[in-house]
Amino acid sequence: MELLYPHEHLNCYNYEKGDRPAIDPIYLNTEDRYNIDILENKIIILRSGLLNFSFGSHLNQTLTPGNMIIIPAGFRFTSKALADTNILIFRIRTNVELCERFALEQLLLEKEDGENFDNIGVLDSNEVITEYIENLIKHITAGLRCFYFYEIKIKELFFLLRGYYVKKELLHFFYPLLSNDLTFSNFILQNYHQVRTVKELAELTNYSLSGFEKHFKKVFGISASQWMRNQRAKIVYHDINNGNKTFKEISYHHGFTSPAHFNDFCKLHFGATPGQIRKRKFHPKGEV
């Protein structure tokens, strides 16, 4: 069906004209690459095709049609289309709420002692989500790209996830975002990459350093310094395995004082030198 009064929509202040709309259908030809720095939490749904991707410590993962994943803010996402591919990006710029009466944090009640969520939580689109996506694409293609329309559709997506998926599946899917203070944890995820030290991060939150460290440990379960080291390690590992940066460039970008310092960091966190790590990418069986 044709959109009525298109000129009114196109000239509206709320029409999404930028290159980072809240909802973004993207088409990739075979061998095309799609690489982005994740400035806010994102949901990625593969509509068709095949996509190889990496972010953080997750390397060479594959999305197949109907798969959806969530990527937390602060990472670099790199991908390559293994076939002609359609993806749909949702940029989540507000706190995630499944519905007004069920806070996202309540999913943590489904977690069992010792349960491991190191692997990416992939949801498969069911009949309801597939129909939702088809209708959404139809409206976007027609030209209905209002900021507030997108906002409503993102809320609808969360309602549908709440209504048509079991809580255990949602726990695994949303686990990278979950804490007992989502406002605080979302702020940390969106801003930690801008600073080098815990003190600088504390200043962004307007906490005293001691108050920040206490609250951080309560929310994340580990100290702020350990968490920042872990995040740094994930990003360094990603940079070694993806792209064409030299080790010198990676070392400089992440603030290492010397090649020896960079080497020692990699041995401590990954049990191997940067050269050995990169070589393993081309020898998956571990021959180095």
| Mean pLDDT of the region 79-91 | 97
Clarify whether residues 108 and 148 are in a common domain: yes
What's the CATH code of the domain at 22?
2.60.120.10
Residues 61, 94, single domain; the answer is yes
Q: Is residue 1 part of a domain?
A: no
**Residues 266, 135 share a domain:** no
Q: How far is CA 183 from CA 27, 121, 205, 234, in A?
A: 33, 22, 11, 23
Q: Answer whether residue 288 is part of any domain.
A: no
**Residue 287: pLDDT band with limits 50, 70, 90:** very low
CATH number at residue 210: 1.10.10.60
Q: Domain check: are 19 and 107 in the same one?
A: yes
pLDDT at 180 (0 to 100)? 61
Per-residue model confidence as pLDDT tens digits over 136-194 = 999 999 999 999 999 999 999 999 999 999 999 999 999 988 876 777 887 888 888 88
Name the residue range of residue 238's domain. 180-280
Residues 202 and 119 in one domain: no
* Higher-pLDDT residue of 172, 56: 172
Encoded tokens for 65 = 């049609």
Q: How many domains does the chain have?
A: 2
Asked if residue 174 lies in contact with residue 121, where contact means CB atoms within 8 angstroms, the answer is yes
Q: Which of 146, 162, 177 is the last residue of a domain?
A: 177
Tell which of 159, 177, 195 closes a domain. Answer: 177
Residue 37 lies in a domain: yes
Model pLDDT, residue 288: 32
Per-residue pLDDT reduced to its tens digit, 87-139: 999 999 887 888 888 888 888 889 888 788 878 899 999 999 999 999 999 99
77: pLDDT strictly greater than 60: yes
The average confidence (pLDDT) of the chain is 88
Co-location of 173 and 186 in the same domain: no
pLDDT at site 54: 92
One domain for residues 27 and 107: yes
With a cut of 70, say whether residue 285 has pLDDT above it: no
164 with 185, same domain: the answer is: no
285 in any annotated domain:
no
